[in-house]
Amino acid sequence: TTENSLDPSSLEPHFWRTDVLLMSPWLAPIMWEGTFNRDILNAQYRQKNFVVGVATFAVKKYVRFIEGFLGSANKFFLSGHRVNFYLFTDHPEKVPSMKLAPEKSLVIIPVQNYSRWQDISMNRMDIISNHIRTHWRYEVDYLYSMDIDVQMFEHIGVEIIDTLVGTISSWQYTKPRDSNSYERRPESRAAIPSGEGDFYYAASFYGGSVSEVYKLTTACFKGVTEDRANGIEAKWHEESHLNKYLLYHKPTRLLSPEYYWDEELIRPLRGKVPEEPEEGLQPGALKVRVRQGLPHATEGTSFRDSGKPRQVHARAHSSMQELPADIPCGPQD
């Protein structure tokens, strides 16, 4: 078959996963290895000729992760598609010289340092929002934010592309829903009432269309700013605000924890995991664990499809302020 045709075997049951939840209760697909045909997707998306931006921050000691991140992303992230890596750092002189694939480019952007890592974390939303407004809306079609202290081991392809994309936290597999790390204090703008919530999303990897990421980052930083004015700091900083936003503005696509596995958890059982950390990474650092499988369901909460849907928050009302209309986005000729 050609890359544009459908291999009949892809319609057979063995091609599809039966051990995991494949769709959210609001009908957004959940991406797992074995649930899509990458060759067909690549052929279709190459016709669109889109550009994807990746924003990442290497501040203070995190500059040591730059080479590992860029090296693995150059090889595994959207291979064959146009990608702009936007690297924010307080040490531009420490960025190693690297040869990237012809379709990929690196933009180094100096950024100020903060005394506390929490402030660095929470100000990322504001920095991303500002750069969308001033530059990126003219340069890319889709934008993703990723932490720098990761390394990719398998391909992350166009299956991640959608309007609003969230990554299910690997920690959700070790704790029941009621013990998720949502901010529960009602005085915080990131608060999610007790008993409410669906998936818990990692702030380490999220994205979507430029206009939707602009709305997300603007709204989240507004919540951060209001909390600061009231002397409050959300439990997990910008991740708490991200989860509040995505609870009321449902992602159109979800990435399974295979896309971002935390090495502090037990090792996934499927797939080979290196016994020693790669050069430049320390034990316990987050690594992208694409396609590496998941722990047994008995280790904690799972998304096995048992015929009974997970309880989710279904109200459409949002307490957040109405966001402006979509801004014009996309690379300009």
150 marked ligand binding residue: no
Do strands 142-146 and 201-209 pair parallel, antiparallel, or not at all (unpaired)? antiparallel
Residue 322 annotated as catalytic:
no
- Out of 212, 239, 258, 263, pick the active-site residue: 239
147 marked ligand binding residue: yes
262 marked ligand binding residue: yes
| Binding site listing for Mn(2+) | 147, 149
| Binding site listing for UDP-N-acetyl-alpha-D-galactosamine | 57-59, 62, 147-149
| Binding site listing | 57-59, 62, 147-149, 239, 262
Residues that are catalytic: 239
